[in-house]
Chains A and B, each alone.
Chain A
């Protein structure tokens, strides 16, 4: 054989000629040809085609357009080269080339039969594991005894791909009947096959819907045709289930088993195996075994003792249906003499399930078959009592009481707090703060005056916000600044840290030390690397980090030649409130002009002590400089409510329009509103955050919501269904009044906070936006409502939106209409992280007294009929929060009742019956917990409903509820509330006292 001959057939794409050429070649001749064939194949399949081949395992058969599109070799040329490579390359080379070196089955077979290499077994094993596409050739070689049957799973997976398009396209059964040896050996190995990512679908419940392409149907047909043994199939499917493979695979075994419709005798022969499957890790396998055992029990072919010995794991399952089925079996088994007590003890295991229905079924068995005097059973029940639904807890408590009356505590919460020492604590407090925290009313309820526990009324201008423990320590020196800046570039998630670094750069960028370049070089390199890799490896918080990176580079190297950082591509400073704020600092840092940042927060959360702001403004005035507009606007918006009058007294010396605006923001009077809309809008919003400022609106009209006019909101729940939104422009749930201008200016921060374009970024940016105007979070929450409520988003979006929910934790932020809507709406979030965070916020808000029954009820009434709340999710989160304390149970029970009451007549038209059932079930448990009956209004609304039998039963149960020691529950809730309010007032006192002692530091 000459190289020129090989090259000729390869150039011509003569596949048959290539096979013939190698037919009688010696191994030596073959290896000499590898030098020609292998590089040629690598070249032909070097690009996209090779990658496609690796992925799909075969070349496109008919479509030449793909090859011509990429100017690739013709299909025949490639196949001829594949034939040549398989005919001459050593095993190591073939392994490296993988499927690229495997021609179509007929050609591959011809080549290998002619070559008969000593390593053919190893190759067959290798290639089967690589691609199912190679199965036909390997199978033919096995069938003809040319290679041994591969041991690996790949061989069987290849067989499973029959009928999937790249083997024979006919029905599976035809392929199997053509090769009957498969029925002897290969077919049974299917039951030993562990699922892999790429083969999971081949043997899952989702496999081919048409029977001729379904393996289950095929196996059943083969049994009908007498080709496969029925007992062996039944046993093999149970063997498969015993292997505890993952759920998807286990379902296939179970489906096959049931398709064979085992008779009761066949099932009875396999009782031990079904019992054994109750120990499976897969819930669906346990469920399958329970169904089989139920059939046996019904046919009186199941030994109760054996069942009880194996049933425990099934009672610990998560799924309500599975545990319910296990309890049914248990209940019937308990009727057999001698098993009743064991059954009752086992039923106690199911009490751990969170569903009241499951608990009820377990309590039924305990009540019927357990002896209250049985110490072991009593112990089991007592241990589980505290976690039970109120209705079942009461039942079991009564059952326990019947056994040993003297030892049992009355049912109810054991965590009612005591008020020891509270009086002394209250007396030590400032009366103003006691009043502000709503303590007198709650104390009266504690003393039995009755009435509802109302939320703390948090007037934004009355609540002290400057907590001395939350003071922000400015960065003192260059080294510390460089270190913090480097850390910030990697993780800008803390807005306080962002502001600290901006302030540090602003103050320390002037008078650079001689070795600045050497010291700043690592930061500069880090920033440049970040900018270089933006969008490639650097995705995390790209907006914040790229902007900060530009600041670092400009500080290090000086101003951009033409004033714009175009060299940084996407990282150039353009648009966005954060970039707008950064602009002034970048310009000064680049020119090394140091000055204190007017708007650097003095306290965490974005707050500025008004006295400090006045002192800073005086410093600027002394320097003869003027901070940029946005810095001044930010400074005004961040003013804390306290010390405003003291600051105003000193602010008279501040000259110019800023001085006027500052005094106006602090509550002073001015003759006229100036021309600088940025300053005056900020001043108006700082002065009266929730009220219209007619003078500013007159002077600067039409700026939009939270310009001169305070924002109003109109709720449009239907918009969520209107389709996918782009940056929330369409389908925002809350309409802003007055509307936000289409081109919203970034330098009007309060207005920009209503624009969706402001929020294009990650969680770090959102968190920072929340510190722009800390006095009024409504606009921030409103965007949270638009983004979160009823929005089934991806995980990335969900993480970016966390800051909206985090802001709800601030105990001094009032949860008025928008905050309440956000909190309640997030309770039914899809992602566990988000719904847990909302639950945490709900727990915090009820605990610190910001959320009462009325507020929660209003939010629920607004959201429940819209479909934006998923009843099962919200019921789960509300139930979890209600367990925290008597106050939480009290607020949630009352809130839910009021919410349903306000929905009233719409219950039948706006909620699904299943949704209503979930909510009513929760209401029932909560009302039993707090000992309250259903109110007359809700009773009337419910009684008029024409609903399902299940719901009607629930409504009946609700209507039977009577007042049961509700005063005691309300009293326990009030005591809890009082303690938390004392803590609140004490915190306020500490703030006020601490700030009185501290004078502004950075004068």
Chain B
């Protein structure tokens, strides 16, 4: 199965309604187990900035930075953003159609003035008229915001239910969960002012640019380079950054986070009471979906016993610190981190780069399918079940195993926690796209036999 049939069901169409008090942004929430959750009622303190952020988010959703050859004629139904209300933050997340860019807007108290009604996660309707209306918001407007509707008000209303059936590709869903594993590995490498960021974005070459570029500090700003040098930070598919051009106008600072191993990067735009995160996959043609960064965690078993207890402690917290949680549950912090990574792959937590912590949110999709569709892990389990893994040697120096491949047996070794394999996948990616099925199979076997 390559797609998940999903129905967005909204009590009304989101809109920027013009009321006597001023514009009122009414975001419709999708029905789920909790009927049309009602998260927030209040107003934007910086309306123009908020409008730009929401437009930026919707632009990511609408973007397809890469068109795989076989998909020219297929039209992907647009997926609506996911909203999470927890603690003091209202987060809206979205993913580009090609799965190579993930965006999240975090609104917190200084940017929002109002009342948080419920905690939870659901979809919000981002229709075209509403997106166009956002362009007309001015700073002098007093813009109200409601995410969801009061039940009483809703029952009195005469709104038409909006229903949209879409086919969400599995790779899109997988990307949504995989991106959290990337963010957790990123390091904050550069910081520039909002003004310099604007300058940098203006200087970006036009058109689609493939290949790796390097960001080099130049004075107080950044310069784009084609060469790796000391202090340079990699960034790929730079055309994806243009989505932030309007947001940059309001930004105070920008933090650039990078996963050095894969060259995935995250751009965190700091605004008044809000943050815009734009996470870019290592290549435009490589969505986050097939990366397998969390496969090793999924294949492990240390965290499995503790998983339900960690899950029970999430409680819509906006930042989950592994240390106190580890102390509370009586397990090492590493196990908690592994459990959180595993929960990330199930869509139960997201990662906040600004706080360097996971946060609780439950993606409103049935992700059991996604988990089942980890083909590498499935293949590895088949290899183990088929008795195709032989542990040759296991001692203090490491481990050596023979795993049957399609034509030949592959040699899997582990030395100082570095796993290697003689298969082509490993030769091609050297572990940057997660372990191969042979390594996973060896790990699973070693776990089963207590060797690992």
Residues of A within 8 A of B (CB): 194, 196-197, 242-244, 276, 279-281, 309-310, 312-313, 316, 318, 352-354, 383-384, 386-387, 415, 479, 482-483, 486-487, 489-491, 518-519, 521-526, 529, 795, 799, 806, 809, 832-833, 836-837, 840, 880, 883-884
Contacts and interface: CB of A to CB of B under 8 A. Distances in A.
Contacts of B136: 242, 276, 279
Contacts of A524: 408
28 contacts: A197-B72, A242-B135, A244-B131, A244-B132, A279-B135, A281-B59, A281-B246, A316-B202, A386-B219, A386-B220, A479-B413, A486-B426, A489-B427, A490-B428, A521-B408, A521-B409, A524-B408, A525-B407, A526-B427, A799-B211, A832-B207, A833-B211, A833-B226, A836-B205, A836-B213, A836-B226, A837-B226, A880-B223
Contacts of A487: 427, 430
B76 to A, nearest CB: 12
A312 B249 contact: yes
Nearest to A485: B427
B19 interface: no
A491 B432 CA distance: 14
A755 B202 CA distance: 42
Nearest to B405: A522
B346 to A, nearest CB: 33
B46 to A, nearest CB: 14
B166 to A, nearest CB: 15
Contacts, number: 105
A244 B129 CA distance: 10
A522 B202 contact: no
A309 B211 contact: no
Given A483-B420, A486-B422, A883 B211 contact: no
B140 interface: yes
A149 B109 CA distance: 48
Given A281-B246, A525-B408, A276 B427 contact: no
B140 A309 contact: yes
Given A313-B246, A522-B410, A832-B206, 20 more contacts: A197-B72, A244-B132, A279-B135, A279-B136, A309-B138, A318-B202, A383-B195, A482-B422, A483-B420, A483-B422, A483-B427, A487-B427, A489-B427, A521-B408, A522-B422, A833-B226, A836-B205, A837-B227, A840-B226, A840-B227
Nearest to B216: A840
Contacts of A415: 219
B195 A522 contact: no
A309 B219 CA distance: 33
A539 to B, nearest CB: 14
A384 B424 contact: no
Contacts of A197: 72
Contacts of B210: 795
Nearest to B72: A197
Contacts of A840: 225-227
B199 interface: yes
A316 B249 contact: yes
B428 A836 contact: no
Given A310-B138, A837-B226, A840-B227, A884 B132 contact: no
Nearest to A276: B136
A964 B28 CA distance: 64
Given A490-B427, A522-B408, A526-B427, A352 B195 contact: yes
A16 B356 CA distance: 73
A288 B203 CA distance: 23
B264 to A, nearest CB: 19
Nearest to B204: A832
B277 interface: no
| Residue of B203, B224, B408 ringed by the most chain A CB atoms within 10 A | B408
Closest 10 CB pairs of A and B: A832-B205, A486-B427, A522-B422, A837-B226, A521-B408, A836-B226, A490-B428, A279-B135, A840-B227, A276-B136
B361 interface: no
A243 B128 contact: yes
Nearest to B238: A832
B411 A352 contact: no
B132 A243 contact: yes
A197 B76 CA distance: 13
Contacts of B405: 522, 525
Given A522-B408, A837-B226, A353 B195 contact: no
Interface residues of B, number: 50
Contacts of B409: 518, 521-522
A84 to B, nearest CB: 27
Contacts of A243: 128, 132
Contacts of A519: 411
A525 B407 CA distance: 7
A836 B225 contact: yes
A991 to B, nearest CB: 19
B209 interface: yes
Interface in B245-288: 245-246, 249
Contacts of A518: 409
Nearest to A315: B249
Contacts of B213: 836
A832 B413 CA distance: 43
Nearest to A317: B202
A316 B198 contact: yes
B4 interface: no
Contacts of B131: 244
A479 B407 CA distance: 20
Contacts of A196: 75
B18 to A, nearest CB: 12
A384 B195 contact: yes
A312 B59 CA distance: 21
B23 to A, nearest CB: 13
Interface in B399-452: 405, 407-411, 413, 420, 422-424, 426-428, 430
Nearest to A488: B427
Interface in B23-65: 55, 59
A309 B195 CA distance: 20
B203 to A, nearest CB: 7
A387 B199 contact: yes
A484 B75 CA distance: 42
B161 interface: no
Contacts of B312: none
Contact of B209 (A242, A523, A833): A833
B1 interface: no
A94 B409 CA distance: 48
B403 to A, nearest CB: 10
| Residue of B138, B220, B409, B427 ringed by the most chain A CB atoms within 10 A | B427
A486 B424 contact: yes
B218 interface: yes
A383 B132 CA distance: 33
Interface string B285-320: 000000000000000000000000000000000000
Contacts of A833: 209, 211, 226
